[in-house]
Amino acid sequence: MTTRHARTSVASSATLLFATVMIFLATTLFGTASAQARPVQFVPAGAISPTIGFDPAAVIEWRLDQAIVNQPIFVRVDPYFPGLTDFSLNNWCNCAINWFNHTTQQGGVAFPGPLPSGPIRTGSGDVSAWTDIPGGFTLVRGQGNWWVP
């Protein structure tokens, strides 16, 4: 019975080392020279008028200062990333934002809360929205209209 031994040559090791170094250099050079992704930078686009009402969940959760809701919602868009809308609040609000894009005929619901929820893909075009307080009493609905690039 004969035993075969694997042959390793210096040439194959050098070739492997050369290829590894070339991949590393190419990745380093092209990775730093290529364009990096720009962070999202929102600009004001409008506002949704204040939503006025009563939120019983705030009483149950012992957030008594937030039981009476009188909250405007600010709308921001990013001109470099079309179709994104971001909603921001001054205070926490248990508000549902029902939005509708009149250009694309698409709609949806957004729930901004105490933590940033990120932008909503509303699509480009003429967008309108109205707000209410789910599970609560909405006395005055907030309404707004803006253009998304």
Q: 83's torsion region: left (phi>0), alpha (psi -120 to 50) or beta?
A: left
For the stretch 63-70, contacts whose Cβ atoms lie closer than 8 Å and that sit 24 or more positions apart, written own/partner, are: 63/92, 66/91, 66/92, 66/93, 66/94, 69/93, 69/94, 69/95, 69/133, 69/136
Q: Using CA atoms, how far apart are residues 97 and 87, in angstroms rounded to an integer?
A: 9
- Structural domain contains residue 10: no
Q: What is the CA radius of gyration of the chain?
A: 27
Question: pLDDT tens for residues 47-74?
Answer: 999 999 999 988 888 888 888 888 889 9
Question: pLDDT tens for residues 81-135?
Answer: 899 999 888 777 788 999 999 999 999 999 876 556 788 999 999 999 999 998 8
Q: Which domain holds residue 117?
A: 43-148
Output the six-digit token pair for 51: 């939503």
CATH number reported for the structural domain that contains residue 132 in this entry: 2.60.40
pTM of the full structure: 0.69
- Structural domain contains residue 30: no
What is the count of structural domains for the chain? 1
